[in-house]
């Protein structure tokens, strides 16, 4: 039996059971982001989370995995989806407000105005966004305005809706299903499916569910062998799938950077 979801409550199933689970939980991608950050040498992260159950769950999984691997989350903020201007909380996260206070105190001591530019904190080497597409399109331009171009910024694939986002998300690095990337065997299947089912082309969610269904059908004939050999994997549409613990199918995803509104594969995959 193959379940296309995971129970909300933690349950323990024996690897000897005939049940396997395949799902697309956002926490899984947050864990992949933390692992990639550690593998690529990042050690000090700042975290920006959506003020929602989704944001907190994704942020929690990233933090736990990152710190378990030796990294450290220096600071975090939550943002509201009903707000468009996140300048104030971002300035606090980057400690620009503290820099302005130091300049004001120095001017007071010297008894006059001084020429100085507020500086952001320099102790972090990574930003992780635990948020969704609309909010990410607001946050990324504001981060660039605050001179964060030199910091790698990671997120989950939930920031990308499949539509052209202009340049708002450019520079953001995300794990993404092969189904979504261009110039892959999976993308060829996606375009074929969109020609056959017109609704898939207008809904990224429906398109990914279609890809999940195709992988589920392909998996059924291999599950017995995957139970026997935990290293055996299926190069699926939603990722490279492996029955690592005998119950839950793990997904390994390629990494992409958004350029000109589209995810482009990153050459140096760890």
CATH of the domain at 101: 3.40.50.2300
Which tens digits make up the pLDDT trace of 108-142?
Answer: 666 666 665 666 678 889 999 999 888 899 899 98
**Residue 269: inside a domain:** no
Q: For residue 153, is it within any domain?
A: yes
* pLDDT number for residue 118: 64
Query: For position 105, what pLDDT does the model report?
Result: 60
**Would residue 85 count as lying in a domain?**
yes
Average pLDDT score over residue span 214-236 = 91
Residue 262 has pLDDT above 70, yes or no: yes
Confidence of residue 94 (pLDDT cuts 50, 70, 90): confident
Is 72 a member of any domain? yes
Q: Is 129 part of a structural domain of the chain?
A: yes
Range of the domain at 236: 2-264
pLDDT of residue 270: 53
Is residue 189 included in any domain, yes or no? Answer: yes
Instruction: Give the integer Cα–Cα distance in Å for 181 and 189.
Output: 11
Domains contained in the chain, number: 1
The larger pLDDT score, comparing residue 215 to residue 149, is at 215
Strand ranges, E, within the chain: 2-3, 20-21, 44-50, 72-79, 126-130, 152-155, 173-175, 233-235, 240-242, 250-252, 255-259, 262-265
Tokens of 101: 């206070």
Write down the pLDDT at residue 29: 96
Residue 161 backbone class (left: φ over 0; alpha: ψ -120 to 50; beta: rest): alpha
Pairing of β 233-235 and β 240-242: antiparallel
Mean pLDDT, the chain, integer: 86
Residue 270 lies in a domain: no
Report the alpha-carbon distance of residue 190 to residue 192 in Å, rounded.
5
pLDDT attached to residue 107: 57
Query: Has residue 101 got a pLDDT over 80?
Result: no
pTM, rounded to two decimals:
0.87
Q: What's the pLDDT tens digit per position in 149-194?
A: 778 999 999 998 776 667 889 999 999 999 999 888 999 999 999 9
- 100 part of a folded domain: yes
């Amino acid at each position: 039996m193959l379940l296309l979801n995971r129970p909300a409550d933690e349950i323990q199933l024996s690897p000897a059971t005939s049940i396997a689970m395949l799902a697309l939980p956002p926490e899984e991608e947050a864990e992949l982001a933390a692992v990639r950050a550690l593998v690529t040498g990042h050690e000090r992260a700042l975290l920006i989370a959506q003020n929602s159950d989704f944001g907190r769950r994704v942020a929690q999984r990233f933090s736990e995995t990152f710190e378990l691997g030796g990294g450290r989350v220096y600071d975090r903020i939550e943002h509201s989806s009903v707000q468009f201007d996140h300048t104030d909380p971002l300035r606090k996260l980057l400690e620009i407000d503290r820099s302005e206070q130091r300049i004001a105190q120095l001017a007071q001591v010297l008894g006059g105005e001084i020429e100085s530019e507020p500086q952001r904190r320099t102790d972090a080497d990574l930003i992780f966004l635990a948020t969704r597409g609309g909010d990410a399109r607001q946050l990324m331009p504001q981060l660039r305005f605050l001179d964060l171009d030199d910091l790698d910024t990671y997120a989950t694939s939930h920031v990308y809706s499949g539509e052209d986002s202009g340049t708002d998300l450019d520079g953001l690095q995300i794990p993404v299903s092969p189904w979504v990337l261009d110039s892959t065997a999976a993308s060829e299947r996606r375009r074929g499916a969109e020609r056959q089912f017109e609704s898939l082309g207008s809904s990224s969610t429906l398109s990914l569910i279609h890809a999940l269904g195709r992988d589920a059908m392909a998996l059924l004939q291999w599950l017995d062998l995957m139970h026997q050999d935990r290293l055996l994997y299926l190069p699926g549409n939603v990722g490279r799938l492996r029955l690592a613990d005998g119950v839950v199918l793990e997904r390994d995803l390629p990494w992409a950077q958004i350029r000109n509104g589209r995810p482009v594969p990153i050459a140096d995959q760890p």
